[in-house]
Structure 1
Amino acid sequence: MRKLLAVLTAALALSLAGCGYNTFQTNDEQVKASWSEVVNQYQRRADLVPNLVNTVKGEAKFEQDTLARVIDARSKATSIQATPELVNDPVAFQKFQQAQGELTGALSRLLAVSENYPNLRANQGFRDLQAQLEGTENRITVARNRYIKSVQDYNVTVRSFPTNLTAMVLGYKQKSNFTVENEKEISKPPSVGFDSAPANPKVGASGVAR
């Protein structure tokens, strides 16, 4: 009986290996690593916001509504727990994506408005923070592109034969990716302060290029 069980176990292992089980594990780990980097870079940006806001507050006549939007957008973005499991929940992923997009827009607006305040533009502290923010936005773009590619690879494995059979048996499902609309928005030449970034692949929630 033990020998039969061992033979069946070995046969099952070989069957899973032949149907992409190991590929799923490799791709899943890559998605997790890529997602972690996206989250790290977004957190890095969020950490810069308080100092940026405090510096801008030093300009007495600066638009308070613009500052309020940045503060509110940061609060929303940091309130979402971006765990590795979030990429398996399309609704939660969409909320995360929307919150980060709102912060991007609020920061772009702040930097655009700052052009109207020569004293602020001449402030070394503000210029240093702006430079750090620009660098972080570029790193966010790179991290997102890597995540998009890793999810594409994983989702293709889920949908392709014969690995789709393994996916059905083991319950593997496609992971969420950045939407076409979001990628179009982030690929636009940014407002004052952010360097233009190369266009990201146009990828939908399924991870398949369109």
Structure 2
Amino acid sequence: MTAVTIAVIVIVAIIVITLIWAIATYNGFVRLRNLVQEAWRQIDVELHRRHDLIPNLLETVKGYAAHERGVFEEVTRARAAAVGGGPTSPATQAQQENVLSQALGHLFAVAENYPVLRASENFQQLQLELTNTEDRIAAGRRFYNANVRLLNTKVESFPSNLIASAFGFSRAEYFETEDPAVRAVPNVTFGTPTD
């Protein structure tokens, strides 16, 4: 073999390896983008379930606490904003869900003042359904954010960022909600001992 033939074989091998790498990287981006979209759709399903449970919960509480009108209006407004009119970004949806979570917290605080309501089977069932839905939303958020992290890492890492910029793949937004109960620092007090 001549030196020219070896050089041509090496150049062709480099081109083939680069082409295979580019195709594999592109397909990896497509796979990650689809995983992120699928994970978001799962969260969206659970958010719709949550939004559908809230009117039933409101009606149950209204039957016992009719004079708590401000709380009912707050939950209704927050739900309407969270349901929205169309597709929103994860950041916008998270902000709306935070407002809704706070309003629901106020509703449950009102319910604490009515022992008969808390003992109601309908209220307990709706509260359990809402709690289960919140758990599924949290699990979906973790799955979604993990996929977003993988996609964002690949979009920003060299040399895959070359393929990302060439084909228009971009970073995805995280879905981050703030639960005031989770972020609050617990207040521990020890009573003075009595002798």
- Shorter-chain TM-score category? 0.7 to 0.9
How far the C-alpha of 1:125 sits from its partner, in A, is 0.7
Distance in 2 separating the partners of 1:132 and 1:118: 20
Give the TM-score, by structure 2 length: 0.79
**Match in the other structure for 1:159:** 156
Name the SS of the counterpart of 1:161 in structure 2. coil
Aligned partners of 1:80, 1:148: CA distance in 2, in Å? 24
Normalization by structure 1: what TM-score?
0.74
Q: What amino acid is aligned across from residue 104 of structure 2 in structure 1?
A: L
Of the three residues 43, 50, 54, the one matched with 2:48 is: 43
Aligned counterpart, 2:127: 130
Equivalenced residues, count: 170
For residues 190-209 of structure 1, what are the structure 2 equivalents within 5 Å?
A: none
**Aligned pairs (5 A) from 1:1-210:** 14=20, 16-18=22-24, 20-82=25-87, 86=88, 92-179=89-176, 182-183=177-178, 185=180, 187-188=182-183
Q: Which has the higher helix share?
A: 2
Work out whether residues 80 and 96 of structure 1, in 8 Å CA contact, stay in contact via their aligned partners in 2: no
> What fraction of aligned residue pairs are identical, expressed as a percent?
34
* 1:120 CA drift (Å): 0.9
Does the C-alpha gap of structure 1 residues 75 and 184 become closer, same or farther in structure 2, counting only changes over 3 Å?
Answer: closer
Q: What are structure 1's unaligned runs of at least 5 residues?
A: 1-9, 87-91, 190-210
Alignment-mate amino acid for residue 36 of structure 1: R
The structure that has the greater radius of gyration is: 2
Q: CA RMSD in A?
A: 2.2
- Aligned residue for 1:58, secondary structure, equals helix
Conserved in 2, the CA contact under 8 Å of 1:56 and 1:62? no
Q: 1:172 to 1:98 in 2, by over 3 A?
A: same
